Amino acid sequence: MFGFKEKPASWLSKLKQGLQRTRSQFTESVAQLVLGKKVIDAEVLEELETRLLLADVGVTATQKIIDDLTARVKRHQLADSETLLQALRENLLDLLKVNTQATTEVSKPWVVLMVGINGAGKTTTIGKLAHFYQQQNKSILLAAGDTFRAAAVEQLKVWGERNNIPVIAQAPGADSAAVVYDALQAAQARGYDILLADTAGRLHTQHHLIEELKKVKRVLQKLDSNAPQETWLVLDAGIGQNALIQAREFHQALGLTGLIVTKLDGTAKGGIVFAITQELGLPIRFIGVGEGLEDLRPFVATEFVDALLEVKSND
Residue 230: phi and psi, rounded to 5, are -135, 140
| Residues 212-223 as b or e (16 or more Cβ within 10 Å = b) | bbeebbebbeee
| Residue 143, SS3 per DSSP | strand
pLDDT of residue 195: 97
Q: From CA 69, how far away is CA 46, in angstroms rounded? A: 11
Q: Which stretches of the chain drop beneath a pLDDT of 50?
A: 1-4, 104-105, 315
Contact (Cβ atoms closer than 8 angstroms) between residue 259 and residue 235: yes
pLDDT of residue 71: 96
Q: In what order do the strands lie in the sheet with 258-262?
A: 167-168, 140-143, 194-197, 110-115, 230-236, 258-262, 284-288, 296-298
Q: From CA 143, how far away is CA 196, in angstroms rounded? A: 6
Sequence-ordered list of residues with C-beta below 8 angstroms from that of 149, at least 6 positions apart, any chain: 172, 200, 201
pLDDT of residue 118: 83
DSSP 6: P
Tell me the per-residue pLDDT of 133-150, one tens digit each, with 9 for 90 and over: 999 999 999 999 998 888
User: In Å, how far are 191, 215, 273 from 144, measured between CA atoms?
Assistant: 19, 16, 28
Classify burial at 26, counting beta carbons within 10 Å of its beta carbon; exposed 0-12, middle 13-18, buried 19 or more. buried
| Spatial CA neighbour of 49 closest among 32, 64, 68, 66 | 66
pLDDT of residue 151: 87
Contact (Cβ atoms closer than 8 angstroms) between residue 222 and residue 104: no
Find the largest Cα–Cα distance for the chain: 69
Calculate the CA dihedral of residues 277, 282, 285, 287 and round it to 10 degrees. Answer: -30
Sequence-ordered list of residues with C-beta below 8 angstroms from that of 161, at least 6 positions apart, any chain: none
Sequence-ordered list of residues with C-beta below 8 angstroms from that of 142, at least 6 positions apart, any chain: 126, 130, 156, 159, 160, 165, 166, 167, 168, 183, 195, 196, 197, 198
Contact (Cβ atoms closer than 8 angstroms) between residue 163 and residue 134: yes
Pairing state between β 194-197 and 140-143: parallel
Contact (Cβ atoms closer than 8 angstroms) between residue 283 and residue 98: yes
DSSP 264: G
**Integer distance in angstroms from the first to the last C-alpha of the chain?**
25
pLDDT of residue 209: 80
